[in-house]
Amino acid sequence: MNNAVTGFSKLSKEEKINWIAKEYFSTPSEAIALLKNYWNTDEKIQKLHDEFIENTITNFYIPLGVAPNFLVNGKYKTIPMAIEESSVVAAASKSAKFWSTRGGFKATVLNTEKIGQVHFIYKGDVSKLSLFFAQSKSKFFQDTESITKNMQKRGGGILEIVLKDKTDLLPNYFQLHATFETKDSMGANFINSCLEQFAKTLKEEALNYELFLETEKNIQVVMSILSNYVPNCIVRAEVSCPIEDLQEKHITNPQDFAERFVQAVQIAEVEPFRAVTHNKGIMNGIDAVVLATGNDFRAVEAGIHAYAAKSGQYSSLSHAKIENGIFTFWLEIPLALGTVGGLTTLHPLVKLSLEMLENPTAKELMQYVAVAGLAQNFAALRSLTTTGIQDGHMKMHLNNILNQFNTNDDERVLIQKHFKLHIVSHSSVVSFIENLRK
């Protein structure tokens, strides 16, 4: 492509596809056929998907799996997981079954406060700004009543608005820092609408404030936006049992296993290079459930990783201890989730996933997401401190390699039989396939 394309968004879906196929592919007809092969045969569902984003040309499928046997606060749950990575669902399921006979997962929502900020520049006397805010604060609540009315009926709304002086970070930089309760909705649109009204009220009230000089009245609002860092929207998930109850096939010495497990977690607490990979494993479980339930996994990722670095050094999200013969493993993470609004009411598979979870509240969904992350982390650390992760992971990855080389049914039977007894690696599978085909 040598020149920019103009008017692309105004082209029909067919025209977009034809342009892309001719511009980038040596065999346009094959590219067009592949794109159309992933369209949903139900035109109504396809139209729904087409309108989720802009310039849609096809659907990009990610498998939706389920992890059964999660005993959460005394009730069994089957957790939906949308993810493309091998072994994640299997590992979560294995952990769920392991802990289902050892008391299950305990999950608690500690708080649900969400945050939004109006960032602005004020060049003037800080004491006058503080007095202005104190005298005008009630007006911010009054001017957003039409926005907050329905949310208040559900028990939510604006919790507090405070003025923050950030001039130690940037010259003349201040914030209106607001906290919200959004109940079962994630609340992004609600929060941002409130913030934009705050900004409007701030500027209007400043212009009429008699104590401000003319130069002080001209408050410059830079932006009004929610924060995906929600350190006061926290859920805790944990498992615990007597050390001797940890014994199973791969844990023949439970005391030694518990001590090695705690050491592995402690390493992730103090070593950022390990902590990043450790937390990535937790996010394998968390993101999969967040995606399956139509929530914003990018926002969740950003907020959780910021929380992992709240001490000034990136650290483990999970923790473990041995105390009085009891092994305990837990995590506390920030999660801003919703079960109403957005994709939750539009995407058919999101609705199915939420129904599978028995239509949870936002608080209940926070608990299920957290236990999925903890289960995934337990599975990884159990493997790392016992048999190692590669054997199980590569056996799960075997199917991907077989698909890559278009193996037929007869070949698959022979290959899978061979690798039940041998270590799976990409090179060893390729070599076996090549020898088989000779």
Same structural domain for residues 196 and 222?
yes
93 lies in a domain? yes
* Distance of alpha carbon 40 from alpha carbon 45, whole angstroms: 7
Query: Is 143 designated active site?
Result: no
Q: Is residue 2 part of a domain?
A: no
Q: Is residue 412 part of a domain?
A: yes
Q: Are residues 283 and 356 in the same domain?
A: yes
The catalytic position among 296, 347, 364, 397 is: 296
Active site annotation includes 119: no
Mean of pLDDT values over 76-105: 97
Same domain, residue pair 429 and 417: yes
Q: For residues 233 and 365, give the distance between their C-alpha atoms in angstroms, rounded to a whole number.
A: 13
Percent of the chain's residues with pLDDT above 90? 85
261 and 291 together in one domain: yes
- Residue 416 pLDDT class (50, 70, 90 cuts): confident
Mean pLDDT of 402-423: 83
**Nearest partner of 221 among 195, 247, 239, judged by Cα:** 195
Q: Report the CATH number that the domain containing residue 267 is assigned in CATH.
A: 3.90.770.10
Count of C-beta atoms within a 10 Å radius of residue 231: 14
What percentage of the chain carries pLDDT values higher than 70?
97
In a domain, 246, yes or no: yes
Q: Are residues 247 and 373 in the same domain?
A: yes
- Asked whether residue 60 is assigned to any structural domain, the reply reads no
Other Cβ atoms within 10 Å of 138 Cβ, number: 10
Per residue in 117-161, pLDDT (tens digit) is: 999 999 999 999 999 999 999 999 999 999 999 999 999 999 999
Q: What are phi and psi of 337, to 5 degrees?
A: -125, 165
Cβ atoms within 10 Å, residue 312: 6
pLDDT at res. 395: 60
Q: Which of 280, 321, 351, 418 is catalytic?
A: 280
Let me know: does 183 contact 118? Beta carbons within 8 Å. Answer: no
Q: Are residues 374 and 294 in the same domain?
A: yes
φ, ψ at 185 (rounded to 5°): -95, 150
Could you confirm whether 259 is annotated as catalytic?
no
Check 77, 278, 393, 397 and give the catalytic one: 393
Establish if 82 belongs to a structural domain: yes
Query: What pLDDT sits at residue 260?
Result: 97
Averaged pLDDT for residues 233-259: 96
What's the average model confidence in pLDDT over 7-28? 96
Instruction: Assess whether pLDDT exceeds 90 at residue 222.
Output: yes
d(CA 381, CA 377): 6
Question: Count of CB atoms within 10 A of residue 288's CB?
Answer: 30
Query: What is the pLDDT at residue 56?
Result: 97
For residue 1, being part of any structural domain is answered with: no
Distance CA 133, CA 24 (A): 57
State how far the alpha carbon of 356 is from the alpha carbons of 77, 290, 337, 367, 368, in Å.
8, 14, 17, 15, 12
- Predicted confidence at residue 142, as pLDDT, reads 98
| pLDDT over threshold 90, residue 369 | yes
Catalytic residue, candidates 13, 50, 85, 305: 85
pLDDT at residue 419 in the model:
81
Measured CA to CA, the distance from residue 411 to residue 17 in angstroms comes to 37
Considering the chain, what is the average pLDDT of its residues?
94
Task: Looking at the structure, tell me whether residues 248 and 304 fall in a common domain.
Answer: yes
- How confident is the model over 315-354, as pLDDT tens digits? 999 999 999 999 999 999 999 999 998 888 899 999 999 9
Domain boundary among 181, 212, 227: 227
Is it the case that residue 391 has pLDDT exceeding 80? no
Cα separation of 48 and 51, whole Å? 5
Judged by average pLDDT, the poorest of 20-29, 248-257, 392-401 is: 392-401
Is the pLDDT at 403 greater than 90? The verdict is no
* H helices present in 25-164, as ranges: 28-37, 43-50, 88-100, 126-143, 145-153
Whether 51 sits among the annotated catalytic residues: the reply is no
Section 192-217 average pLDDT: 97
244 and 359 in a common domain: yes
Q: Are residues 290 and 378 located together in one domain of the fold?
A: yes
Residues 283 and 315 in one domain: yes
CATH of the domain at 197: 3.30.70.420
pLDDT category at 387 given cuts 50, 70, 90 is: confident
Structural domains of the chain, count: 4
Is pTM beyond 0.95? Reply is no
| Mean pLDDT to the nearest integer, 23-39 | 97
> In terms of residue numbers, what domain contains 375?
65-110+234-388
